[in-house]
Every structure is written in structure tokens, then in C-alpha cells.
Amino acid sequence: MGFARKEYEFLRELGLGPRNPGSYINGKWKGSGPVVCSVNPANNQNIAEVVEASIQDYDEGMQACSEAAKIWMQIPAPKRGDIVRQIGEALRMKLQHLGRLVSLEMGKILPEGIGEVQEIIDMCDYAVGLSRQLNGSIIPSERPNHMMLETWNPLGIVGVITAFNFPCAVLGWNACIALVCGNCVVWKGAPTTPLITVAMTELVAEVLEKNNLPGAIFTSFCGGAEIGQAIAKDTRIQLVSFTGSSKVGQSVQRTVSERFGKCLLELSGNNAIIVMDDADIKLAVRSVLFAAVGTAGQRCTTCRRLILHESIYQSFLDQLIGVYKQVKIGDPLEKGTLLGPLHTRASRENFEKGIEFIKSQGGKILTGGSVIESDGNFVEPTIIEISPDAAVVKEELFAPVLYVLKFQTLKEAIEMNNSVPQGLSSSIFTRKPEVIFKWIGPHGSDCGIVNVNIPTNGAEIGGAFGGEKATGGGREAGSDSWKQYMRRSTCTINYGNELPLAQGINFG
């Protein structure tokens, strides 16, 4: 077992051991399901074991969570905010260790791993302020001696199902806000990143215990599809937030909708960067490199399509290929590495199959295109010249593969951007105000994230994160996303002695 290796000693600082129970139920760690191994994608060696949740564990956990919800929702919102503040402080104390674990278990480079944990800390800070601003409205009534107001109350329990590529940040987007809104949280982490699920839960559990609060306020499960399906079907869970593929997300949405639950979906992306003829080329090249190569192309906001104006097409490509060839590939924990491994062996195999399929559709490889012979799941960052009409361009290959397309007019570029089923993130590089305002307007990008002179990835928490079409329509993190985690009530109070009816109706 790799846990005995010297470089894994930091895991003990996170409460992890060679074998770890994977269910946090009613304030206790349990696990009676299958035993799985966490694997380091840089060498495919086992790190440690986790005992996943069984359905019996799930039922026990949900029963306790339902009872805890009655307590948590009655605690004043600012006091809930203080608990989230303490969670943020606990994360700060373990920032380096947690970031290192994200890098080790997921495969993203260490600066990105630390940045992911920092994102949850930032979400905690954001949620603390939000806890004093869950404001309703006063609405003028058309009836004399009547008052109308809008109030917001907790839903009760929020289910959060996260993906491997952001194994803890997506939890933060949801849980920080759900908690200050008065909801208990049920979390199912990705099956391939169970150590992160356990370590994150351990920190939250310590804060709840220190404040003499029920541990069931935050209930978590390591497990696979069986636990995910149970969450989707459970009528006690009023909102299910799911991050993953469009195919699975559609199935989750159907299941939740059948029981009249609420669903928040963060699904596939097929994001484009448009580079106009007046763009700052140096800035754009750097942006495309980060957007296409960062996290080994495994972000939902990864740039997968580069749409270049014909007048700068070749010169831009020459510069981009040059920087691609300088990218250091290797152990994500080593300083200077820019490209770590794909997350699993299956991901590496999908890359190989994907490249062959792209070639069959006329794709011309300009650089990369091969797996790297090693014990890990390393592949070359790849740029492919292809027709925008190729069917494969409409699909999301979760790897560092970038399609290059050529355009003549802005109208043509926007049509290319909007031509795919997904609608998450998009960006344009230009200095012309008329182009910028067209791009962000009704005849511009149809995505949920519409950027100018920055990459498609690296979103800030202050804005609502999410996309349209096959991306699912959900919004998480900032702006008014908190409203999804609460139920709205329109209240009318008659403080007079008469009963005037709305619309002037006279009923006897």
C-alpha cells in the first residue's frame, strides 16, 4: 500500500489512514459497503483504502440528517454564517495539505490543487456575509390595510453530487451557501477521489462537534452510482445539485423531477475562444494555453475550440504550437510542472480512441496526439486542425485536445461558438467596443459565461457559475444563486377589519 511511503506522511495530518471508513453518519464514521483503493494517477499506484457506503448506511444517515434539519433551520442565519466562517478557518489551517491531496489523488498540478481549496475558503468568506443578507421584499398591496411581503425559508436538505475534476471546490460552491441558508447537506463525492471526501468531511465534522451541533447537519458518503441514485430518488432531499456529464445529468433530472424535487445541474462544456484580427496576440496565446492545457483539459470550462480570424490564423498557430512544445509534463506535485496526468487509465484510453476518431473525420494533428509511455496516465497536449462541420467538434473529449477553426466575419465566428449543444463558457479577444457589446448582447454568445480578453476557465466566485442548453441551466456560487437553496413565500397580512378582494372583485 502506497500509504507507507514517506511522501504520503502528510495524509495523517488530514486524519487519513491506510484504511478509512467512508460514511459520516450522525456524527460517526462508518462504512459497510465495498472496499475501494484510491489511486495516484501519476503512477497508478494505490494510496489508501476507503470503505464505501452501503444502502443501509445511506438510510441510517438520511434518518439522522432529517432530524438534524429541524434543529439547523431554526438557528439564526448569522449564527449559521459563523459556523461556516469556522469551517473556512479550519480549511485555512490545512490549505497546503489539502491542496497536496487534491493534486495527489486527482492529478492536477499543485498550484491548481491549492487554488481549488482556496476557492472553498473564499466561498466560506462569501457565505458569511451572505448570512446577513438573505433579504426578502416589501411589495405594495392594492388593498387598503394590507401588507405584502416576500420571505425566504430553508428547503431542509440539499444533496450535492460532485465530480472528480473539482473534488472539493464544487462542494464549496453548494455547501457554503446551502448551510447559511439553513439547509443540511448530504454529499456524495466522486468514487475516484474518496480520500478528499473523507478529509474534507473530517474538517467540517470537527467544527460541528466543537460547537455542540449534530454531526448529521453535514452527512457524507463515499460511493458509486447506487448512492447517487438513492439521493436522486429521496423525497427528503428537496434540491439535488449534480455535477457531471450531460447524459448522467439528464437521468438525474428525470428522477428528481418525477418526485417534484428541484435540480441544479452543472454538466458538459464545449467552450470556444474567438480571436479577432485586432486582438492582443500575446495575451490571447497565454490565455489559450491555460484554458486548453490547464488541469490536463479536464475542466468543464476547458477551451476545446479555438476560432481564429483568417488574417492572423497562421501566425497565431505558430506561436501557440511553440508554447505547447515548452509545456513541462510530469508529476503534478513537482515544481514547474504545467501538465499532470489524466485522472484514470480509462481517461487515457478514451484519449487514444478519441484521437483515432478525430483523424477519421478529417482532423489534422498539428502537435501532440499521443500517449506518453509511463506508469501514469500522461498524454501530450494536442492541437488539431479540423472543419467546423465535423461531428466530433460538437462533442466533449475530456482531455487536452484543442480544435482549431478559421473564420472571416464576426457573425460567422459567433455562429460557430453557438453551434454546439453545450453552452457553458466562451471568450473573445478584441479591443473594439462594437464587437465586445455585440458579443455580450442578445445576438452574441449563448453561453452562461461570456468573457472578453480572458480565458474560458478560472471563474471568480462572485458571479453565478453555470451554463445553458446541454450544460444544464444551473447556477452556483455568487450573484443571487442562493435563492435556489431556499423556498420563497409571498405573504399577505390583513391588519384591518374589512375584506377587500384583489382586482376589485365583489363576492357578496
- Active site members: 266
- CA dist 402 and 415 (Å) reads 18
- Are 120 and 167 spatial neighbours (Cβ–Cβ below 8 Å)? no
Single-letter amino acid code for the residue at 104: L
Number of H helices, E strands in the chain: 13, 24
Q: List, in sequence order, the alpha helices (H) in 309-401.
A: 313-324, 345-360
Residue 149 dihedral angles phi and psi, to the nearest 5°: -140, 160
Q: Name the nearest CA neighbour of 353 among 421, 403, 399.
A: 399
69 vs 159: CA distance, rounded Å: 13
Taking the CB of residue 88, how many other CB atoms lie within 10 A of it?
21
Determine whether 462 is exposed, middle or buried from the number of CB atoms within 10 Å of its CB (0-12, 13-18, 19+). exposed
Q: For 240-274, what is the HEC assignment?
A: EEEECCHHHHHHHHHHHHHCCCEEEEECCCCEEEE
How far is CA 79 from its chain centroid?
Answer: 27
Question: Could you tell me which residues come within 8 angstroms of residue 130 by beta carbon, excluding any fewer than 6 positions away?
Answer: 81, 177, 180, 482
Q: Which residues contact 104 (CB under 8 A, 6 or more apart)?
A: 8, 40, 47, 113, 332, 333
